[in-house]
Amino acid sequence: MTLPDPTPPVPQTSSTAPRRSHEPREGSGRLWWEIAIVLALGLGQSAIYAIVQLAYRLTDDTPLADQTATLNPSRSDREVFDLIYQVLSIGFGLVPVLLVCFLLWQRRRPHLERLGLDGTRVAADIGRGALLVLAIGAPGLALYFGGRALGLFVAVNPAGLDAHWWTVPILLLAAARASLQEEFVVLGYLFARLRQLGWSPWTIIVSTSVLRATYHLYQGPGAFIGNLAMGLLFGWLYHRTGRLLPFLVAHFLIDAAAFVGYPWAAATWPALFGLPG
Q: How far is CA 138 from CA 133, 149, 218, 254, in A?
A: 9, 17, 22, 11
Q: What is the pLDDT of residue 263?
A: 75
pLDDT in tens, 214-256: 999 999 999 999 999 999 999 999 999 999 999 999 999 999 9
Mean pLDDT across 116-145: 93
Pick the more confident residue, 86 or 263.
86
Query: Can you say how many angstroms the Cα of residue 237 is from the centroid of all Cα atoms in its chain?
Result: 15
Mean pLDDT of the chain: 89
pLDDT digits (tens, 9 = 90+) for 141-185: 899 989 999 999 999 988 888 889 999 999 999 999 999 999 999
Instruction: Please state, in angstroms and rounded to a whole number, the distance separating the CA atoms of residues 126 and 114.
Output: 19
Locate the domains of the chain by residue range. Answer: 28-273
Better pLDDT: 274 or 32: 32
Helix then strand then coil, in percent of the chain rounded to 5, is 65, 0, 30
Buried/exposed 77-111: b ≥16 CB within 10 Å, e otherwise: eeeeebbeebeeebeebbebbebbbebbebeeeee
Over range 105-114, report the average pLDDT.
Answer: 91
Using the predicted structure, report yes or no on whether residue 39 has a pLDDT greater than 90: yes
Residue 21 DSSP one-character state: T
Give the phi and the psi of residue 68 in degrees, each rounded to 5: -130, 140
Mean pLDDT (whole number) for 21-45: 84
* CB distance 217 to 51 below 8 Å: yes
Q: Look up the pTM and report it.
A: 0.86
CA angle 45, 49, 54 (to 5 degrees): 150
> By mean pLDDT, which of 73-87, 142-156, 261-275 is the weakest?
261-275
Residues 6+ apart with CB under 8 A from 261: none
Q: Does 5 have pLDDT greater than 80?
A: no
Q: What is the pLDDT of residue 276?
A: 54
Higher pLDDT, residue 179 or 20:
179
pLDDT category of residue 265 using cuts at 50, 70 and 90: confident
List strand residue ranges (DSSP E) for the chain, in order: 68-70, 155-157
Confidence of residue 261 (pLDDT cuts 50, 70, 90): confident
Amino acid at 230: M
Residue 192 · residue 105 · CB < 8 Å: no
How many angstroms separate the CA atoms of 104 and 30, rounded?
A: 14
Instruction: Answer yes or no: is pLDDT of 10 > 60.
Output: no
